[in-house]
Amino acid sequence: MPKLNTRQIVILALMVVAILYGAYELLAPRLGTKKGPSNAAEQSVDVKKFVADVTPGISAETAGEFEIYAAIRADTPWGRDPFFERAGYVEYAALQEGYMKAKAAESGKAIAFAYTGYLDSGRRRVAIINGVEYVAGEPLVEEGYVLRAIDKSKVVIEKKLEGVKFDVLIQE
């Protein structure tokens, strides 16, 4: 067995101390603690006494002018939202509008699909569209399109947002 360096000795010593302390806590009988209902009854009496002492003090205090003003003010609607930053919102709205216009223009242009291969293993049909293998029901790499059916001569692709189905013939 190799010789232990001081770091390893310190770690082992701390581990032994921790194990001995854990064994002592687990196995040594508890001294000075009462088990049973008498201890629980004393605790419930203490709680009841505390509640009895605090309750009259709470109900005796009336709300001051500031508390009443704060309660009324909290109920009224705000004239202006202090967290609203108009310049930031205008910039955000412009970016959002530009994004929506770009998305609309993108959806207007047609995506060309090339159905170039077909494989039928008996229980599973695989189509190769734009160089990627798909099975029926799988979403295409082009966002928003799903492959619905595979045939030897064509595939049926659906554009999910519009619900439009179209056929793509095989290219040999």
Residue 109 has pLDDT above 70, yes or no: no
132-151, pLDDT tens digit by residue? 899 999 999 888 889 999 99
Residue 155 has pLDDT above 90, yes or no: yes
What's the pLDDT score for residue 12?
95
Distances (CA, A) of 34 to 28, 31, 47, 162: 15, 8, 19, 74
Count of residues making up the chain: 172
Phi, psi of 65 (to 5 degrees): -60, -40
Q: The pTM is what? A: 0.37
What's the pLDDT score for residue 76?
83
Q: How confident is the model at residue 32 (pLDDT cuts 50, 70, 90)?
A: low
Q: Which amino acid is at 15?
A: M
Computed over every residue of the chain, the mean pLDDT equals: 81
Q: How confident is the model at residue 39 (pLDDT cuts 50, 70, 90)?
A: low
Return the structure tokens found at 54: 């605090």
Q: Read off the pLDDT of each residue in 88-109 and give the average, rounded to a whole number.
A: 69
